Amino acid sequence: MRRLSMPGGRSIAVLGQGTWNMGEDPTEQQREANALRLGLDLGLGLIDTAEMYGEGGAEQVVAAALAGRRDEAYIVSKVYPHNAGLRAVQQACERSLRRLNTDRIDLYLLHWRGDVPLAETFAGFAALKAAGKIVDYGVSNFDRDDLVEAHASAGGAALAVNQVLYNLARRGIEWDVLPWCRQQRMPLMAYSPLEQGGMLGHATLRAIASLRGATPAQVALAWLLRQDGVVAIPKAVEARHVRENAAALQLQLGSEDLAALDAAFAPPRRATPLAMR
């Protein structure tokens, strides 16, 4: 697995697994945990979750998947903005740790910017880090202006990643957010890398996939993974999907594939507000 350095000096895998929509239906939890475990077997140890997903249910699925295998995994979780106050964030983290059945979260993110002053949230993150309850912290859904402000706030220089919506059909961040992150050597974590499945029927993706003996999802992931500084976290419950996604690491796109993708999914020509789910 290729890895990227983060500003604090530790590194992160470029491909992981998402968990949004997991932990919502009790009858599906076993299948969801099995999918995450299969991913782990295939080297996808980075697992992205949040207190929001299934209102804690997804974190419990992660705990079930990691039973006896915590040290093979790298857990990313996120705090709601309304829980991001100095004391509240520490309490929210304790609740996540209990649901995850672990003593540490590897990367803890502010899910999106809310009303709590950033320096207060970062002070809460720093206290959690000092106590060994989180290893690194970062942000999610931060546009360039938010990043600049965050980075200049007390505790902001330690931000390890920014997690944002990024895929072939959502390229706005290439204008300003991605260059800023690269300049800081801060990995950008691409969420909804498959546009939740919505772009996989696109004729160009299908044509390249068929030429390369791959699937449209693998082409979409390979396009992200070929870029410097980008981490992708596709979510998959179907075992076939988990296997395909793990194998996307081996797919190399050629310059003619990249040109065809640029023609079909145009890069941005001006700054646009950050897209979010």
Q: Which residues are tagged catalytic?
A: 53
Binding mask 210-229 for ligand NAP (x = CB under 6 A): -----x-x------------
Binding mask 95-134 for ligand NAP (x = CB under 6 A): ----------------x-----------------------
Size of the site for ligand NAP (CB under 6 A): 28
- The DSSP line for 93-124 is HHHHHHHHTSS-EEEEEE-S--SS-HHHHHHH
195 makes contact with ligand NAP (CB under 6 A): yes
**What are the structure tokens assigned to 61, written together?**
């699925």
Q: Are 161 and 6 in contact (CB under 8 A)?
A: yes
CB nearer to ligand NAP: give 128 or 220: 220
188 makes contact with ligand NAP (CB under 6 A): no
- Of 89, 188, 205, 236, the residue at the interface with ligand NAP (CB under 6 A) is 236
The residues that bridge with 74 in the sheet, in sequence order, are: 46
Binding mask 22-61 for ligand NAP (x = CB under 6 A): --------------------------x-------------
The residue number with the shortest CB distance to ligand NAP is: 18
* Residues belonging to the chain: 277
Q: Are 51 and 224 in contact (CB under 8 A)?
A: no
The residues that bridge with 232 in the sheet, in sequence order, are: 15, 190
Instruction: Identify the three-state secondary structure at position 165.
Output: strand
**What are the structure tokens assigned to 254, written together?**
């050629």
184 makes contact with ligand NAP (CB under 6 A): no
Give CA–CA dist 139/142, Å, rounded.
7
- Of 123, 169, 200, 264, the residue at the interface with ligand NAP (CB under 6 A) is 200
What is the closest distance, in whole angstroms, from the C-beta atom of residue 79 to ligand NAP in the complex? 11
